[in-house]
Structure 1
Amino acid sequence: MNGRRLIYLTVSLLAVVFLLGFAYLVTVKLFSPINQGLAMNVSANGADLVVSDDTVLRIKNIYTCNDEEDLGEEAAVTGLKGMTYEDLQQIFSPEDGWQVTFDSPNELVLGRMIGELCARHQQYRHLGVYQEKLAVFQGPLGVDAVMLQVLQRPVKDLPPAMREQLEQAKNFTDLPLQTKELLKKELEFENEKKLNAVLENLDELH
């Protein structure tokens, strides 16, 4: 009986050690932000990161269409070493159009907000609504900063399916990804030639 109890205690002890080890791997190793490669926004996490000799600096442009243009990377310049996130925010402030993030403890990213569309999306057009009339905007769906034309076509005279699509597109940024993709196929065009083809079809239906 004592032998069987000893075996039982030994197995139980090994099971506890195994579970503790597994818990350590899950919480410390697998879910580590470094191992996952997750972007770390220092202001959100309150992480105490500092620019060091090992920090790589990456600079990028961020356009209104949310496209990004990498301008290259280099070792962090001497003048930034020793700075915290709060220090960097004083120099590269949001008010001046900058976004400061640490993509990892050793990678500092300075994003410059560009108040215009990227070269590719400048050619895009999409349909929207202005004062209850069909309108043409520059850029992809979700970016309505530049209206190019108001068409003399009341929205109420459009096919029901198109009216529904235009109504949904008013809240484009809040829509599920699948809905966004469906609306892009119907209301977004890579250039004016493709837009005009759709407008011609609408004229024929009128």
Structure 2
Amino acid sequence: MNKKITWSLAILVVLILVGGVGFISNPGLFNNSTILQALAQQPDSAILQDVVIREERVYICGDVQEVARRTVGSLNIKTEQELSNQYAAKGYSVVKLKNDFLAQTKVNDFCNYHNSFRHFGIQNNKLAIFQGPLGYNQKLICIEENIDINTLQPTFQVKLQQAMDFFQMNPETQAKLRYELEFSSEDGLNAALENLDELQE
């Protein structure tokens, strides 16, 4: 009786092993298995949901401000393509970094610090005033129509020309130009305009 049970168990084990080997060696069974596909996809999807997206604004002056951090899951996004499309619609470009995503948008303005800056330059051969620090001439505030560049001292004319090519100057020249032609506020600018003759000396 015990021998019959032992033999029956042994035959059952052999059948199970043979069946298991046949299942593993048959790739068709794997391809048709929705359970295995779900298990394979679930880890990637779950990991993506926890990845952080850093949202940043890049200003004219080059300063960068982080405005938000959120997870992919909080946006109900399933794939990286959906992530790129959703941010592109808002004017952001998305870059995948090692551990997170970086979404940046360019802002046609200066950061809070540089927003009040003003500097001298040249426009239409007249003395011009630009918003922002030296080197950034995207925002012209006004042209001093009554101040022709040719009426200014030659050395001051050279400085104004250098200001317009600020990033081509060496660090020492840049520092001198900032000291003389760049102002952190409207008050500083107005004082310089009132004492333009002294500034040229």
Q: How many pairs does the alignment contain?
A: 153
Residues of 2 paired with 1:119 and 1:144: CA distance?
17
Contact kept in structure 2, 1:134 and 1:150, CA below 8 Å:
yes
Q: Which amino acid aligns with 1:101?
A: V
Residues of 2 paired with 1:185 and 1:98: CA distance?
36
Map of 1:20-59 to 2, 5 A cutoff?
A: 52-53=48-49, 55-59=51-55
Residues of 1 paired with 2:135 and 2:183: CA distance?
13
The TM-score, its normalising length taken from structure 2, stands at 0.62
Tell me what 1:197 maps to.
191
The answer as to 2:160 corresponding to 1:145 is: no
Give the fraction of aligned pairs with identical amino acids, expressed as a percent: 31
Tell me what 1:70 maps to.
66
The alignment yields a C-alpha RMSD, in angstroms, of 2.9
The TM-score, its normalising length taken from structure 1, stands at 0.61
Deviation at 1:184, TM superposition (A): 1.9
Q: Secondary structure at the match of 1:129?
A: strand
Q: Secondary structure at the match of 2:129?
A: strand
Q: Could you tell me which runs of 5 or more consecutive residues in structure 1 were left unpaired when the two chains were aligned.
A: 1-49
Q: Could you tell me which runs of 5 or more consecutive residues in structure 2 were left unpaired when the two chains were aligned.
A: 1-44
Match of 2:108 among 115, 127, 136: 115
Deviation at 1:54, TM superposition (A): 5.1
Match of 2:87 among 81, 86, 92: 92
Residues of 2 paired with 1:117 and 1:155: CA distance?
27
**Structure 1 residues 192 and 77, CA, compared in 2 at 3 Å: closer, same or farther?**
same
Structure possessing the higher radius of gyration over alpha carbons: 2
Deviation at 1:88, TM superposition (A): 5.0
Contact kept in structure 2, 1:54 and 1:106, CA below 8 Å:
no
